[in-house]
Amino acid sequence: MSSKIRLGIIGGGGDSLIGVLHRIASFMNDNYQIVGAVFNPVWEENIGFAKQIGINTSRIYPDFDTFIEKETALPTSERIQVVSVLTPNFLHFPMAKKLIENGFHVICEKPMTTTYEEAEILQKTLAKTNTVFAVTYTYTGYPMVRQMREMIKNNEIGEIQKVDIQYYQGWINPIIHDKKLRNTVWRLDPKKGGISCCVGDIGTHAFNMAEYLTGLEIKSILADLNYLYEDNTLDIDGTILVRFSENVKGVLRTSQIATGEENGLQVKIYGTKGGLKWEQENPNYLQVLSEDKPLQIYKPGHSYNSELSLNGTKLPPGHPEGIFDSMANIYLGVAKAIRNEPYNSGEFPVMNDGVRGMKFIEQCVASHKNGNSWVQL
Amino acid sequence: MSSKIRLGIIGGGGDSLIGVLHRIASFMNDNYQIVGAVFNPVWEENIGFAKQIGINTSRIYPDFDTFIEKETALPTSERIQVVSVLTPNFLHFPMAKKLIENGFHVICEKPMTTTYEEAEILQKTLAKTNTVFAVTYTYTGYPMVRQMREMIKNNEIGEIQKVDIQYYQGWINPIIHDKKLRNTVWRLDPKKGGISCCVGDIGTHAFNMAEYLTGLEIKSILADLNYLYEDNTLDIDGTILVRFSENVKGVLRTSQIATGEENGLQVKIYGTKGGLKWEQENPNYLQVLSEDKPLQIYKPGHSYNSELSLNGTKLPPGHPEGIFDSMANIYLGVAKAIRNEPYNSGEFPVMNDGVRGMKFIEQCVASHKNGNSWVQL
Amino acid sequence: MSSKIRLGIIGGGGDSLIGVLHRIASFMNDNYQIVGAVFNPVWEENIGFAKQIGINTSRIYPDFDTFIEKETALPTSERIQVVSVLTPNFLHFPMAKKLIENGFHVICEKPMTTTYEEAEILQKTLAKTNTVFAVTYTYTGYPMVRQMREMIKNNEIGEIQKVDIQYYQGWINPIIHDKKLRNTVWRLDPKKGGISCCVGDIGTHAFNMAEYLTGLEIKSILADLNYLYEDNTLDIDGTILVRFSENVKGVLRTSQIATGEENGLQVKIYGTKGGLKWEQENPNYLQVLSEDKPLQIYKPGHSYNSELSLNGTKLPPGHPEGIFDSMANIYLGVAKAIRNEPYNSGEFPVMNDGVRGMKFIEQCVASHKNGNSWVQL
Amino acid sequence: MSSKIRLGIIGGGGDSLIGVLHRIASFMNDNYQIVGAVFNPVWEENIGFAKQIGINTSRIYPDFDTFIEKETALPTSERIQVVSVLTPNFLHFPMAKKLIENGFHVICEKPMTTTYEEAEILQKTLAKTNTVFAVTYTYTGYPMVRQMREMIKNNEIGEIQKVDIQYYQGWINPIIHDKKLRNTVWRLDPKKGGISCCVGDIGTHAFNMAEYLTGLEIKSILADLNYLYEDNTLDIDGTILVRFSENVKGVLRTSQIATGEENGLQVKIYGTKGGLKWEQENPNYLQVLSEDKPLQIYKPGHSYNSELSLNGTKLPPGHPEGIFDSMANIYLGVAKAIRNEPYNSGEFPVMNDGVRGMKFIEQCVASHKNGNSWVQL
């Protein structure tokens, strides 16, 4: 009877924040119903969490392999259609790969994989299918981010000539200066966090935003990372010079030691005709600069916005929506794709965004280790 | 199996904005499941909407009376526990009354009734029961609004000496100057809108905010309303002088002809030790003023906030939550009450808030019609 | 040799803030030279101050009468042309009157007089002469204030339908609650401060701003003042309902007990086509609201501004000017008038602004004492 | 009779903006009197300007050499004490040198010279004298900039670990894309503008701010500049990675093609205990970040500010001062130095600031031309 898309969740149980974010996002536009899950590898916690959030426990599976086995055995009309992968980073690749191979659509948290090599394999795996695959660069779902993308596409600020994107947080500051403490944080452990902490976790958002907004590819980068202490092996801060072409340059600035910053993703893009500025912590205000007219502030929900932007606003202007709504907009786009309804480019980040992100991370570290030299992307 | 609270919805179908707001709010904290509804008096639209949003149609009823009849016939363990009343204003009273009388908890949209008389009857009806009754003054759910309440309660700004609350919108401007148009809008039709347009719709929010935040009762008011045209019989703008006591004064300012304003609810409260300022359109910033210290900006999710405030934040600082989250916080409080879990005063607006609101509306109009004279509240 | 206007100063010596403000304002556009003064009634302080600030002491006079006597005895080509009256309020009237009668132009601090009766006498005195007379409502000199005036004059926001002006300060809070202290402050002493403290000192700015910006006269008012303590005889807070005509209404809000507020003059004006918002503490940003276009932020110095506004900006956009520049713009207008150069209405506040201000103060107190009734203006 | 310091001006006539800025700054604190000048090499314009601004013409000289000759011939008690050098950049060096050699104190506009070599010579010249020498890095005069310096000095944000300073303007955008136009602008002509346009004009402000605020020296830099067109030989945009020490890093970002930006100097500095953020266009608000307390906004004139900051505020809090006041604070510091009164480090930028600036400019260009390599400073 229900026309809702059958959604499965892997990970995201307990007090996982990413779990809440995805769950609410899936609810928001009445498109999805969570029908199965492996919230946690520990059975008691898994089943307990399902009960706690009121999910029917009949399709809560003990582990990922059982999930695959049991669900694929179900008739198509009952089988889970799409799976959100919210597990620790190193599990994204094997799970996403197996899900694709078994015909599930996938909504994968970022970083998509732990290496560029894995990302390429995943891309090839996907290429053979008709599977919908989304990587949740959450911030691309904000209405004013989408409005920027459309304004740039429509040449409203002319040819891009400068891109400056910041992602500053401060949460590692109280950890990094304490030798004992910094050796206990999983993100600073290369075995768990991969080859990068700061660039991998947030720099990749800045990178994705740069390419998502401009519609251009970054061709080369020069990274200067900071580790602060010799015994700390993963970067916690970095400035990355970027080139879209010989004369179209930019800078990505990331930090986890910008003490007191919360989640300071900020965008500044300048073209031959104007400029755009936006801040994640105050997402409903988009500054549009020009040379000879007053500064304009665009806000969500107004008819002057593009379809891609309006698509992501549920209430009239003046009713602030936030990050749950942003993620929900990505889920909305995925729902359209799964249902074979028309949707616009930009409604959700795709496999290629995930692949580019992995390459970016690896090349940042390579550039830095090679004496801050230019490397290709 | 599910521990979710069984929720029924009356109204809120089709493209109702209030419907979306309540539905998402009910999902957000995993507490409720919508199990029955009368979304629309037209059956096709009712059932169609249920299918569209993926609700099991077995308990979609053709009308309110059938809803009551069928649900009360169910065993307690299956019966809907709480009903959200999202119908046109004039139906709030009879429906809420019947729901209370039949043992349902009620979440009622504002204005709670169309007259103060009805409000008093409803209050008496409720007094004989153990029913949980909430009026959705949505803005009381914002974390920083709750933080203001707690700071005032904890004497952080001292004795209140001045209260200034604004609620400015501009949406009636393009309507009011066109004689034909202004005679077609339901809010300007006394048969549908009651005795007041602006004060009734938004002034009452300002009033509720004043009492919610200060914990004080407004004792008397003097209202100057504006109707702009002789053939317009409902106020579209008004300034209301208020007194909490002889020397504790304030002003509530409301307008629907503040051209270009969207949803400009703004709070300024001053005490003997400091001041508080907050704006709904940018809800995650609370200004705390003092005489000899730097201005402080409080933001949600930090440990320096009160429990009542923190209770309403799902993600870490820097991840902006918005109006859906605000309403969800009210639903969260109601869930605790229904489950007989402990909760704080202020987690949801109660019957008395609705009653006070109705009295306020009637007395504003009375004051204005009586030559802008002082009236008791 | 110098083409500078010969300026005299009465008052403003020592660490007088108003003295600094006027002195710098007179310098800023290279129009004036201070050639004579009575900075202080105590001779040592008078002459000492002149030396301290490097003024030639030959025309520092011991008192106002000597100033008049000696200056009028000088040939026209040497005589002081314009006098800034910066003395305590009760001296404004007798000094300004005598200056006018002796052919001096006058720049008079506000309040222009201590009673409306005096103001009327001064107005009649002036009417018989060709004297330039300015009242220094300082805030009218800000470029963005002037831009508002011109936009309204040019019908850019249509017919005015709502005016809301705030002037909140908090400086009396730490005084008023201490009985001893509050009896020692001159502004709270009716013998020195006149019949009003808050309305007289800052409410009158709000009133002047309302009339200056809209070009309309306020016809009637209803004031609710606050004195907080029985032994305090002058208002320290007040809300004043105003009517420009039957249906064009507004509110002026003033306080000196808005704890933590510094100098919070804020303007909101709404018309049939748009709205304007401005704040004194951040004077270089003017918000221009409309119904269907993005919010616009006007800033000083851009060619899109009016001549009256541009006239008051000395540096290119992005170089913030402040309150000294605002006062300097008034001095600039007065210089033009003295030199018989063309100037625009609005370049400096005139006698009538001072007269209206005095009437406003008296009628506010009258309205309040008469049970918050409507009084004519 | 006058205790004012005798000031001479070289350059700054006609509609020179820098002329207005210095002139007003010299007036603001009643310390200086302009007694002589060469405003313009064309005699008619020189003398005409002196008359226009009301300066006694007896010491207006036809050229710089005559200025030196005639002034040095005057008795010490009449002779000009300090000279403001406001001429085109290439004249700063020879004039400043000759002034120093002849015993004049000097207030020199930036860039202090056109080459680092010249700067070193000037420094040596000065070293043999007791002359006061100031370079007008104007922005160091803002009260909140000074407050940042003092807070850092007092360890309020702990050890510095990240510095990010932006200076974005957009004024070259409408010029650079027009081949004809870009060949006519003096700043883009290496003969007139030196070896750098953007870094030389505004990057050097960012650099000075970094060292002024932190009290640290930048040890090495890596610059990526942008010229946009092959026939354009001077940089118009650049990002410069900087290192204060091996692990204390930062970035300076400068542009003149950030379309729509006016004068966007912005500071972000993070330490082990907190962060500081400030923007030139809105100079009276200083953000102080910490990990576990609310964001604080410092404003000028409050007693919680340092002496160095309070020293630069003339009016009470809430009365916005701007860029003229900032420059005036530098003149105030210079006046103290000339009078041998005590003053704090930081009251005006000194010779070494000018020398460092020139080295920075040259090394930026060197780093860029050498394939974006690290160079020492």
User: With contact defined as beta carbons under 8 Å apart, do B200 and B360 qualify?
Assistant: no
Are A20 and B315 within 8 A, CB to CB?
yes
- Given this model, what pLDDT does residue C1 score? 37
Q: How far is C375 from chain B (nearest CA, A)?
A: 13
In the sheet that holds C32-38, the strands lie side by side as C32-38, C5-11, C82-86, C105-108, C133-135
Model pLDDT for residues D166-186, shown as the tens digit of each residue: 999 999 999 999 999 999 998
By CB atoms closer than 10 A (0-12, 13-18, 19+), residue B169 is: buried
**What is the percentage of chain D residues whose pLDDT exceeds 70?**
99
Mapped onto helix, strand or coil, the DSSP state of residue C12 is coil
- Given this model, what pLDDT does residue B194 score? 87
Q: What is the model's pTM? A: 0.97
Binned at pLDDT 50, 70 and 90, residue A1 comes out as: very low
H helix runs in D201-251, sequence order: 204-214
Taking the mean position of all CA atoms in its chain, how far away is CA D240? Answer: 19
Task: Report the alpha-carbon distance of residue D73 to residue D69 in Å, rounded.
Answer: 6
**What is the percentage of chain B residues whose pLDDT exceeds 90?**
96
Model pLDDT for residues D192-220, shown as the tens digit of each residue: 888 999 999 999 999 999 999 999 999 99
User: With contact defined as beta carbons under 8 Å apart, do B377 and B220 qualify?
Assistant: yes
Check CB contact of D290 with chain A, cutoff 8 Å.
yes
Model pLDDT for residues A294-346, shown as the tens digit of each residue: 999 999 999 999 999 998 899 999 999 999 999 999 999 999 999 999 999 99
Residue B293 predicted with pLDDT over 90:
yes
- Given this model, what pLDDT does residue A192 score? 85
This complex has an ipTM of: 0.96
Check CB contact of B298 with chain A, cutoff 8 Å.
no
Binned at pLDDT 50, 70 and 90, residue B163 comes out as: very high
Residue D1 predicted with pLDDT over 60:
no
Q: What is the mean predicted confidence (pLDDT) over A159-175?
A: 98
Across the interface, of A229, A258, A374, the residue whose CB is closest to D270 is: A258
Q: Tokens representing A313?
A: 């606003």
Q: What is the mean predicted confidence (pLDDT) over A235-264?
A: 98
User: A164-196 burial string, b = 16+ CB within 10 Å, else e?
Assistant: bbbbbbbbbbebbbeeeebeebebbeeeebbbb
Q: Which domains does chain C have, with CATH numbers?
A: 5-139 (3.40.50.720), 143-309+351-369 (3.30.360.10)
* Residue of C304, C319, C321, C331 best to disrupt the D interface, most CBs of D under 10 A: C319
Cβ-based neighbours of A163, under 8 Å, separated by 6 or more:
A210, A214, A242, A244, A248, A249, A250, A251, A268, A269, A270
Q: How far is C119 from chain D (nearest CA, A)?
A: 28
Q: How far is C242 from chain A (nearest CA, A)?
A: 28
* Residue of A277, A284, A291, A295 best to disrupt the C interface, most CBs of C under 10 A: A295
Model pLDDT for residues C10-19, shown as the tens digit of each residue: 999 999 999 9
Task: Write the CA distances from B2 to A20, B33, B35, integer angstroms.
Answer: 18, 9, 12
- Given this model, what pLDDT does residue D34 score? 95
Q: Is the dihedral of CA D295, D299, D305, D308 positive or negative?
A: positive
User: Across the 377 residues of chain C, what is the mean pLDDT of every consecutive 10-residue run?
Assistant: 84 95 96 96 96 92 98 97 96 97 97 96 97 98 98 98 98 96 92 92 98 98 97 97 96 98 98 98 98 97 97 94 98 97 96 97 97 97
Give the chain A residue nearest B265 (alpha carbons).
Answer: A318
Three-state DSSP string of chain B: CCCCEEEEEEECCCCCHHHHHHHHHHHHCCCEEEEEEECCCCHHHHHHHHHHCCCCHHHECCCHHHHHHHHHHCCCCCCCCEEEEECCHHHHHHHHHHHHHCCCEEEECCCCCCCHHHHHHHHHHHHCCCCCEEECCHHHHCHHHHHHHHHHHCCCCCCEEEEEEEEECCCCHHHHCCHHHHCCCHHHCHHHHCCCCHHHHHHHHHHHHHHHHHCCCCCEEEEEEECCCCCCCCCCEEEEEEEEECCEEEEEEEECCCCCCCCEEEEEEEECCCEEEEECCCCCCEEEECCCCCEEEECCCCCCCCHHHHCCCCCCCCCCCCHHHHHHHHHHHHHHHHCCCCCCCCCCCEHHHHHHHHHHHHHHHHHHHCCCCCEEC
Task: Report the alpha-carbon distance of residue B324 to residue A87 in Å, rounded.
Answer: 27
User: With contact defined as beta carbons under 8 Å apart, do A250 and A242 qualify?
Assistant: yes
Mapped onto helix, strand or coil, the DSSP state of residue A189 is coil
Helices (H) and strands (E) in chain A, counts: 14, 14
Check CB contact of C289 with chain B, cutoff 8 Å.
yes
Residue B1 predicted with pLDDT over 50:
no
Task: Write the CA distances from A69 to A61, A73, A100, integer angstroms.
Answer: 10, 6, 14
Are D297 and B294 within 8 A, CB to CB?
yes
Of the candidate ranges C248-252, D55-59, D256-260, the one whose mean pLDDT is the lowest: D55-59
Alpha carbons within 13 A on the beta-carbon side of B137:
30
Binned at pLDDT 50, 70 and 90, residue A273 comes out as: very high
Residue A162, H or E segment: strand A160-168
Closest CA to A270 of A291, A284, A254: A291
- Given this model, what pLDDT does residue C54 score? 87
Binned at pLDDT 50, 70 and 90, residue B3 comes out as: confident
Q: What is the mean predicted confidence (pLDDT) over A112-141?
A: 97
Which residues 319-348 in chain C show a CB within 8 A of chain D?
319-325
Q: What is the mean predicted confidence (pLDDT) over B240-261?
A: 97
Which chains have 3+ CB pairs within 8 A of D?
Answer: A, B, C
Kindly give the pairing relationship between strand B32-38 and strand B160-168.
unpaired
Q: How far is B260 from chain A (nearest CA, A)?
A: 11
Q: What is the mean predicted confidence (pLDDT) over A227-254?
A: 97
DSSP state of A266: E
- Given this model, what pLDDT does residue D320 score? 97
Closest CA to B310 of B288, B341, B332, B338: B332
- Given this model, what pLDDT does residue C3 score? 78
Three-state DSSP string of D245-294: ECCEEEEEEEECCCCCCCCEEEEEEEECCCEEEEECCCCCCEEEECCCCC
Across the interface, of C288, C294, C303, the residue whose CB is closest to A288 is: C294
* Residue of D302, D305, D309 best to disrupt the B interface, most CBs of B under 10 A: D302
Closest CA to C100 of C110, C115, C85: C85
Check CB contact of A291 with chain C, cutoff 8 Å.
no
Q: How far is B371 from chain C (nearest CA, A)?
A: 9
Closest CA to C173 of C228, C230, C252, C225: C228
Check CB contact of B299 with chain D, cutoff 8 Å.
yes
User: D216-248 burial string, b = 16+ CB within 10 Å, else e?
Assistant: eebebbbbbbbbbeeebebbbbbbbbbbbeeeb
Are B320 and A27 within 8 A, CB to CB?
no
- Given this model, what pLDDT does residue B14 score? 93
φ, ψ of residue A58 in degrees (nearest 5): -65, -25
Give the chain B residue nearest D305 (alpha carbons).
Answer: B294
DSSP state of A60: B
Cβ-based neighbours of A132, under 8 Å, separated by 6 or more:
A82, A105, A106, A334, A337, A338
Q: Tokens representing B278?
A: 């907050």
